[in-house]
Structure 1
């Protein structure tokens, strides 16, 4: 048995909070695997724009460009809320995921993306959020990358650094890199890095 969106009945949708993000309160029911409809459920839904995350990879130097910034979601549960991450940003109205990838790479890391390679799309926390992530790897020239970046008017304070691919993979294994998009992208690169290097051709 397979279900579709038609098998979820949203009875009420009420506003809970609206700020930089939004919280909706849903009363709903859904069909059951055993047949029939389940009971009414009350669920809070964190509503936010879809996100784009990009792992910049230099196949000629076999390096990745990663960044560090403070993340409020880690403040209560980590001794170090400055997270090591890939480039990331939210999709604004009228933008495509590809446009966001190029914009954020420039704003957050000072990088020009030479080729954008889709990895996957996924829901990071579908139990309570409607966000979907568009995940990419991007070929870049990492020579000269690094330093402090970000938009001052958005309060961004981002430190960018270049890592050997194997060192970044080790950081995932050791738990130093502990956010989903970065883990997924680096594990994908661990599987496909040699293929990307073989097909990159001469360095531009």
Structure 2
């Protein structure tokens, strides 16, 4: 049972953090900043000045392409260097995804990346959620959607050569995609969240999106 003086979550906000110094320690394809900061503690005193490195990633948009008539999803296979050194293949099955550029809405990013990465045009887009990827070390926020497509002619190799993209498009039965989560063939957060969301909302989505 909570005590009489129990405090609920979100006692503190942005204004409670004091950044004494900020320095960009790396600027390449991505950026890394070092922060010297402090903030109040739950016990009432203040944290001593400490440092953190922060990966400045920006926001991104990810979309699970779904054909409600054929009950199929479209997944993209591409190389990811963050998987190097692990026992699994560094070629992952993922969603359509891209970084949000200045002035773009997530829906505009979804349509742009659908064309560039998979040759797909989304009909309806339904927002699933927004989530922080790894807030202990990076600023990245994901805008996650499910997008209506026809998977009948989806496939092939796509991507922008100048951005070193090499993307193979796969059409996968929905049940098989879910099985890939269970056996570990799909183990990236955006794909897992989106597919499990579709498990919960699939009947409604099929009724709403299917051709009359």
Give the alignment's TM-score, normalised by structure 2: 0.93
What is the CA distance between 1:42 and its match in structure 2?
A: 0.4
Question: Match for 2:58 among 38, 49, 53?
Answer: 49
Structure whose CA Rg is larger: 2
Unaligned runs of 5+ in 1: none
What is the CA distance between 1:15 and its match in structure 2?
A: 1.3
Q: Indicate whether 1:99 and 2:108 are aligned.
A: yes
What is residue 190 of structure 1 aligned with on the other side? 199
Alignment of 1:81-100 (within 5 A): 81-100=90-109
What is the CA distance between 1:30 and its match in structure 2?
A: 1.1
Q: Residue 33 of structure 1 aligns to a residue in which SS?
A: coil
Unaligned runs of 5+ in 2: 1-6
Q: Residue 114 of structure 1 aligns to a residue in which SS?
A: coil
What is the CA distance between 1:36 and its match in structure 2?
A: 2.2
Question: Match for 1:156 among 141, 161, 165?
Answer: 165
Following the alignment from structure 1 to structure 2, what is the Cα–Cα distance between the partners of residues 129 and 200?
36
What is residue 124 of structure 2 aligned with on the other side? 115
Q: Residue 168 of structure 1 aligns to a residue in which SS?
A: helix
Following the alignment from structure 2 to structure 1, what is the Cα–Cα distance between the partners of residues 211 and 120?
19
Question: Match for 2:27 among 18, 24, 27?
Answer: 18
Give the alignment's TM-score, normalised by structure 1: 0.97
What is residue 165 of structure 1 aligned with on the other side? 174
What is residue 137 of structure 1 aligned with on the other side? 146
Following the alignment from structure 1 to structure 2, what is the Cα–Cα distance between the partners of residues 201 and 165?
15
